[in-house]
A and B are shown apart, each in its own frame.
Chain A
Amino acid sequence: MWSFSNIANLVHEVLAEHFNPAITLAIEMVIAGVSVIGLFAILGLVLVIMERKVSAWMQIRLGPNRVGPKGMLQSLADTLKLIVKEGMTPNGADKLLFNLAPFIAMIVAMLLMAPIAFAKDLQMWDLNIGILYVSALSSVTVISILMAGWSSNNKFSLLGAMRSGAQIVSYELSAGLSALAIVVLTGSLQISEIITSQANGWWIFKGHIPAIIAFVTFIIAVTAETNRAPFDLAEAESELTAGFHTEYSGMKFALFFLAEYVNVFIMCSIAATLFFGGWMPLHIGNWHKFNHVMDFIPSSIWFFGKTFFLIFVIMWFRWTFPRLRIDQLLDLEWKYLLPITMFNLLLVTAVAILGWHF
């Protein structure tokens, strides 16, 4: 079978034959870095065109259809346009922080790639505290947003950044508590172990009602954490122009935009890993023949299929719910989601101890 680990071992052996270990390591690191950058750029382009096509579809219009076949190269054209635009720094801005903020956003989005299992054996770092790592790093995004908002010497930016700070910080709690529900069922924080524990069925089916509640709260919290509509108060375009990146233009804006979309992808892939088994094909208990048929579909297709389905759901939210007000937003988290997720964690613990899950 051609699996990723075979290819990686092959490359490693070929390199080790010709070079000494230090250079081999350097070359391997360069290959990994370049492939991650490639994945990053492709994800950005694909997600932007997907967003525009989905919103066009929801509103019964055509969407971009001029550049390339069916408008599929539109986001490439947009990137080219953004490259030739000037990335200016406004007067009175804190120059260091202003220019540092997009870098921080990018580094965080990139670092979040490390523990994600894209396919069988395709994972950069399978650390034993994967879920903790993800929840810890995803909250660092708020620093880049606050940095951008405060440094750009603009009232819209500052307001957007403060809102987004309160929002991300609040919704992180329910996201963490919902993820913990699956950790209780699995008994491990490691991504690979969470996936292998779903070899006889995904947790959303195996975990009864508490798993479904956890999934719903997780998706809501993730939508808020990535500043997507209906929780896009940080960049509410009808009241704050563009929120925290009002003053950003050209490539610096593009980096924020890219990091935002990649964050959506990463959070959806975490949701897919926790509740839908990541790259694990659809297995049902001991229906061995059915499971065997499902195994023929490659694991990467399962992973990307689930993730893109969840991304589609999040885009669907955008055209279904009107934007919340800041007080409603905080009420939703502190008065509804947080108690629900706390109670749900108790429920899940009881289910796990009684062994009621499959």
Chain B
Amino acid sequence: MSGTVYCIVAIFVEIPSFMGASSLIVLIIAAIAFSGIAIMLSKLVLKATTNKQKGEPYECGIPTKGETRMRLNVGYYLFALIFLIFDVELVFLYPWAVVAKKAGWIAFAEIIVFFFILFMGFLYAHRKGALKWM
């Protein structure tokens, strides 16, 4: 029994001192245990009461009006869209950055072409007014 457990766990671990990828499992369990125990503890200690006003949304004492999940400024979504483009570009840059020093001027030329295309897109978004807050 313990042999099977060992085999299952050993897939994630190289045994001596340093933890490797198994640290992620430990950390996730630790986080859940910590938050769970904290919340449970506070549930044990307190005496919950209920009344009509208690569960109302807090808006500085005034009863809330209308739909809560209202429509929001389109700007938020526009920025999220532009971010999506840039974030993908950023991920492409990571492998480039690792080899840039070894590859020398070829890497430099490549990044200039890359940034030129990226910057054109950025300028286009700017001219279209996507970066302006309404």
B9 x A25 contact (CB < 8 A): yes
- Report the minimal beta-carbon distance from B9 to chain A, rounded to whole angstroms: 6
Q: Are A110 and B27 in contact (CB under 8 A)?
A: yes
Interface range on chain A (Cβ under 8 Å from partner): 35 or more
Q: How far is the CA of A23 from the CA of B3 in the complex (A)?
A: 10
Tell me the chain A residues, 301-317 only, with Cβ under 8 Å from chain B. Answer: none
> How far apart are B4's CB and chain A's nearest CB, in angstroms?
9
With known contacts A158-B68, A165-B76, A114–B101 Cβ distance under 8 A: no
Interface of A is mostly: helix
> Contacts A32-B19, A125-B24 given: A162-B76 contact, CB under 8 Å?
yes
Residues B23 and A124 in contact, CB atoms below 8 Å apart: yes
Question: Measured between alpha carbons, how far is A40 from B43 in the docked complex, in Å?
Answer: 22
Binds B, one of A148-156, A205-213, A220-228, A289-297: A148-156
Q: Mark B82-123, 1 if CB is under 8 A from A, else 0.
A: 110011001001100111111011011001100100110010
**Which A210-259 residues have a C-beta within 8 angstroms of B?**
241, 246-247, 250-252, 254-255
How many residue pairs between the two chains, A and B, have CB atoms under 8 Å in the bound complex? 238
> What is the distance, in angstroms, from B3's C-beta to the closest C-beta of chain A?
7
In the complex, the answer to whether A33 meets B30 with C-beta atoms within 8 Å is yes
Q: Complex: how many Å from CA A111 to CA B22?
A: 11
**Assembly CA distance A85 to B25 (angstroms):** 31
B112 and A346 within 8 A (CB): yes
Q: Please name all residues of chain A whose beta carbon is closer than 8 Å to the beta carbon of B34 when the two chains form the complex.
A: 37, 40-41, 106, 110
Q: How far is the CA of A213 from the CA of B67 in the complex (A)?
A: 46
The residue on A at minimum CB distance from B107 is: A349
Cβ A254 vs Cβ B38 within 8 A: yes
Q: Select the residue from B21, B39, B75, B80 with max chain A CB neighbours within 10 A.
A: B39
Assuming the contacts A91-B55, A150-B69, A156-B59, asked whether A83 and B76 have C-beta atoms less than 8 A apart, the reply is no
Query: B39: which of A154, A173, A183, A251 is its contact (CB, 8 Å)?
Result: A251
Contact across chains for B38 and A83 when beta carbons are under 8 A apart: yes
Q: How many Å lie between the Cα of A151 and that of B48 in the bound state?
A: 22
Look across to chain A and name the residue whose beta carbon is closest to the beta carbon of B82. A334
Contacts of A107 in B (CB 8 A): 27-28, 31-32
Which residues from chain B contact A92 at a C-beta distance below 8 Å? 55, 57, 68
Q: Are B39 and A252 in contact (CB under 8 A)?
A: yes
Which residues on the A side are within 8 Å of B22 (C-beta)? 29
How distant is the Cα of A247 from the Cα of B57 in the complex, in angstroms? 7
Within 8 A of B (CB), among A129-184: 129, 131-132, 150, 152-156, 158-159, 162-163, 165-166, 169-170, 172-173, 176-177, 180, 183-184
Bound-complex Cα distance A338 to B75 (A): 18
A36-B57 in contact given A173-B90, A327-B133 (Cβ < 8 Å): no
CB distance from B87 to the nearest CB of A (A): 7
> Is A113 part of the binding interface, using a Cβ–Cβ cutoff of 8 Å?
yes
Which B residues form the contact surface with A (CB < 8 A)? 2-3, 5-6, 9-10, 13, 15-36, 38-39, 41-43, 45-46, 48, 54-60, 64, 68-70, 72, 75-76, 79-80, 82-83, 86-87, 90, 93-94, 97-102, 104-105, 107-108, 111-112, 115, 118-119, 122, 131, 133
The 9 A-B residue pairs whose C-beta atoms are closest, nearest first, are A327-B133, A91-B55, A110-B31, A8-B17, A22-B6, A33-B30, A124-B23, A22-B2, A251-B42
List 25 A-B pairs, Cβ < 8 Å: A12-B15, A23-B2, A32-B23, A90-B58, A91-B55, A110-B30, A111-B24, A114-B27, A124-B23, A125-B18, A129-B94, A158-B70, A159-B72, A166-B80, A169-B80, A176-B90, A176-B93, A180-B94, A183-B94, A183-B98, A187-B98, A187-B102, A342-B115, A349-B100, A350-B108
